[in-house]
Structure 1
Amino acid sequence: MLADPVLRLGVQGRGAVARLLLDQAAAGNLEAQARLGQALLDGHGIGQDAALALRWFRIAASAGHLGALNMVGRCLELGWGCAPDLPGAARHYQAAAERSLDWGQYNYANLLSQGRGVNKNMPQALAWYQRAADSGHAKAMNLVGRFHEEGWVVPQNLAVAFEWFQRAALAGDFRGQCSYATMLIGQGRREEAVQWLTRATRTATPAFLQTIRQAVHRLDWLGYGPVLRAIDQRLSQV
């Protein structure tokens, strides 16, 4: 029997879950506060309210919840429940990154690589992507691969890029799967590439699915038919 009501999340209906979260959040449970913020942001089991979500993320973050600290950064970056504040987002991401949260490291690296909210600094961006990737963050793995593929900051090294793309693909990142497939195509391993592109269609965003479709059409090989069918099936479900 689960004694802590927060541990019963997912066992009861969404309405009941929201009530449990509210009770536990009000009682000072940090995990409940962070989850309540996410529920409010997504509108899951409770009315969607981005401004209130941000308030709960701030409460949990101020008490030391790293995921909530990162989510305050996301809200500030994207203007969820507030006016966009890129420098503020960078400060929150950096704080989460320095406390070893992989998502904080990844998000902070994104701002550093783009010069958004902070001065552009590609060496620092790579360092943070690397730390996140070493922690198992799949999206960061793909970006480390990109640095080595393009020769950003480091000497171009396609063999190292290939290894990172493979790791990202195996970890489930759809962009990593496409990056890995692209390198497989360059090696003449088209059948393997088709398998990875097909896997990528399962989790890729609709916009990225269109990118895959355009790339496959440019390749002009009949063997990519399974990829196109997988894209059409996925888009029909969105």
Structure 2
Amino acid sequence: MAFQLRREEVVGSDQFGEMLEDSPAKAAQALLMAAGQGVVEAQALLGQILLDGRGIEQDAALARRWFGIAAQQGSLMAHNMLGRCLEHGWGGASDLPQAALHYRQAANGGLDWGLYNLANLLATGRGVAADHGVALACYRRAADMGHAKSMNLLGRYLEEGRHCPQDLPAARDWYRRSAEGGDFRGQFSHAATLAGQGLLDQALVWLQRALEGGNANFLRVAGPALEQAAQPEVRALAGAYRARLAELG
């Protein structure tokens, strides 16, 4: 079973991070010991490696328990990851209202990932009443903290003028910053802006980067969008997007 995890969402200790790079099995043993001794960062990171099956047998239910333990001790990262387990049904039943509560705890503590994940629920009305105003504020706050995915979504709000005044220069700037920050959706948005400005060579570079980093959900939408592009060079990339989607299954 594959989990869509982002390592930066939970890693809070450079020491443990280095251990995981050098020897996942040894790191897992160290994390088990530290987590049992009440080290909150170790508890949260243990939850992640249990989800990943990295250096330890994969066990989503146990991962969820460790996130819960660390969250009870105030770990913002654990609140965020417990929210993800609850949102996606990892290690137990899905519970969107409870996921929103844990995202809110992380967001209230100033965690960029918590702000982003809470905003996603607010923007779509999943588990909470839809509230684009608050969602936009969360995306903006996370974007100001350097969160690349939030930058792209903030750019979308500004481009479309939804629940805020339209500001195309600001939208283009947020797309650029998101792309440079490594978000594949931001790279796609930035590429669309560049293509619209006639900067086709630069647009193709960013479309290729988005292709290389994008997940299946993104590719499934982006490929058909490329087929509708005005520029033949852009349309030609649609086939590569379809092929990559097929590779990912």
Q: What displacement does 1:201 show? A: 1.6
Q: Could you say if the C-alpha distance between residues 8 and 111 of structure 1 is closer, same or farther in structure 2, counting changes exceeding 3 Å?
A: closer
Q: What displacement does 1:214 show? A: 2.4
**Residues 12-161 of structure 1: pairs in structure 2 closer than 5 A:** 12-161=22-171
Q: Is the 8 A contact 1:198 1:230 kept in 2?
A: no
- Residue range with higher mean Cα deviation, 176-185 or 130-139: 176-185
CA distance in 1, matches of 2:211, 2:147: 20
Q: Which of 205, 209, 216 is residue 199 of structure 1 equivalent to? A: 209
- Residue range with higher mean Cα deviation, 113-122 or 8-17: 8-17
Gaps of 5+ in 2: 1-13
Deviations 1:23-73 (A, max 9, x none): 111111111111110011111121111111011001111112111111111
Q: Could you say if the C-alpha distance between residues 115 and 166 of structure 1 is closer, same or farther in structure 2, counting changes exceeding 3 Å?
A: same
Q: Which of 169, 178, 186 is residue 179 of structure 2 equivalent to? A: 169
Gaps of 5+ in 1: none
- Whichever residue aligns with residue 90 of structure 1, its letter is A
- Whichever residue aligns with residue 25 of structure 1, its letter is A
TM-score with structure 1 setting the length: 0.90
Q: Report the structure number with the largest CA radius of gyration.
A: 1
Q: What displacement does 1:235 show? A: 5.5
CA distance in 2, matches of 1:115, 1:97: 17
Q: Could you say if the C-alpha distance between residues 236 and 121 of structure 1 is closer, same or farther in structure 2, counting changes exceeding 3 Å?
A: closer
Alignment partner of 1:219: what SS?
A: coil
Q: What displacement does 1:234 show? A: 5.2
Q: State percent identity of aligned pairs.
A: 50
- Whichever residue aligns with residue 176 of structure 2, its letter is Q
- Whichever residue aligns with residue 161 of structure 1, its letter is A
- Whichever residue aligns with residue 99 of structure 1, its letter is G
The alignment's C-alpha RMSD in Å is: 2.2
